[in-house]
Amino acid sequence: MSKRIGILTSGGDCPGLNAVIRGAVKSCVQLGYDCFGFLKGYEGLYAPVQYVPLTGESTKGILNQGGTILGSTNKGRFAAIQGVNDRVEISQHLIDGVKETVRHLDLDGLICVGGDGSLAIAQQFHENGIPVVGVPKTIDNDLTATAFTFGFDSAIECATDALDRLHTTAASHERIMVLEVMGRHAGWIALHSGIAGGGDVILIPEIPWNYEDVCHKILHRESQGKKFTLVVVAEGAHLPDGEMVGEEQEGQQLKLGGIGKQITQEIEKRLHREARLCVLGHLQRGGAPTTFDRVLATQFGAHAVRLVVEGRFGEMICSRPPEMTSVPIAEAVSKIRQVDPMGPAVQAARALGISFGDRPADEVSHGVFDLKLEHVPDLHDTEGLLESTESAVEAAMA
């Protein structure tokens, strides 16, 4: 009997999923493995089991297609995450059912493509003896183990294009335009698209902000003859009172959305200026992947097969340029990577005069390059690293 590998895509869809599938399938063909694709994420692994054979012919032409030919879901019987690091144990009867599927199909390994929630499920599979490897997928780019996740570049391309378009209509009508983008716990999409698209205010989960400084930035621009303002806000940014805006769902994470509307209304109320809102929503998840995401996703697919061939189960493939390496899945999903409020991207944005809603407009650029560490701490010295970080924060706040 020939060797066999299974693959599935779980969680929210994003550009590049089909490129991963194609990369894995073509590698399987070259290495003499049969490949099976399970439908609708993890749901396809349990009765009624749903899968299709994947071949070079059946995956022809999908490299540049958005979405996933296997389908995906972030709901159902295998939902394993309700919040940050809030793991929910999968029922043992579901685990046993997946084991039986893997045994019945005689799979040598199962490639699970997903974000932190989906990979938390893969980790539970691994703990129960199921031969899994992980592929990181999230447009939020918030997994600490990998430098980049595919889908992120495509998402910021979409958001940047939106800002380019909003710029012209905002200037024409002298309006304040608020663009709400995705980003639950990390503001990478808002930060990168805000810089690339010429945003004037960027509001992200990592930096507390207030309406006074946002409004001051708008008025400061007007005093300089700039009669319009572009505000970019991540959907997971906290309101000044610390609250997140969204819809409560029983047994699930808060369904985010609506902060852009509140900000738009508050700006109009305070400044008596015309403001408009644009919510990108799932546009950021749709469409063809960028060149960068196609290359990255293809590498992830091929190297995921390598992990199976090498028997390195319970690991997730990750990009650490110039290497394509791997880490334990448990390590990959244990911590979310957020924007460093004192990092180079934020420093550059402040130097350009971009406001993060935490300082008056005439102080946005003050001291942004003043913070200098006397030495680079040993990354393996946890206690020393913590002390260095605390010292840096104290110096920045002084």
- Per-residue confidence at 382, pLDDT binned at 50, 70, 90? very low
In this prediction, what percent of the chain has a pLDDT beyond 70?
Answer: 89
Residue type, 107: L
Beta bridge partners of 279: 180
User: Helix, strand or coil for residue 250?
Assistant: coil
Region of residue 180 (phi > 0: left; psi between -120 and 50: alpha; otherwise: beta)? beta
pLDDT by residue (tens digit) across 36-68? Answer: 999 999 999 998 999 999 999 999 999 999 999
> In sequence order, which ranges of the chain are alpha helices (DSSP H)?
17-31, 92-105, 116-127, 152-173, 188-196, 211-223, 259-271, 291-309, 329-332, 344-351, 382-397
CA distance 123 to 322: 26
The separation between the first and the last C-alpha atoms of the chain, rounded to the nearest angstrom, is 68
pLDDT of residue 179: 97
CA distance 235 to 347: 22
Dihedrals phi, psi of 193, to nearest 5 degrees: -70, -35
Asked if 330 contacts 347 with a C-beta cutoff of 8 angstroms, the reply is no
CA distance 296 to 299: 5
Tokens representing residue 396 in the block: 């920045």
Asked if 254 contacts 263 with a C-beta cutoff of 8 angstroms, the reply is no
Q: Give the residue with greater pLDDT, 13 vs 392.
A: 13
Would you say how long the chain is, in residues? 398
Please list the active-site residues.
140
pLDDT by residue (tens digit) across 185-206? Answer: 899 999 999 999 999 999 999 9
Asked if 366 contacts 219 with a C-beta cutoff of 8 angstroms, the reply is no
Q: Is it the case that residue 32 has pLDDT exceeding 50?
A: yes
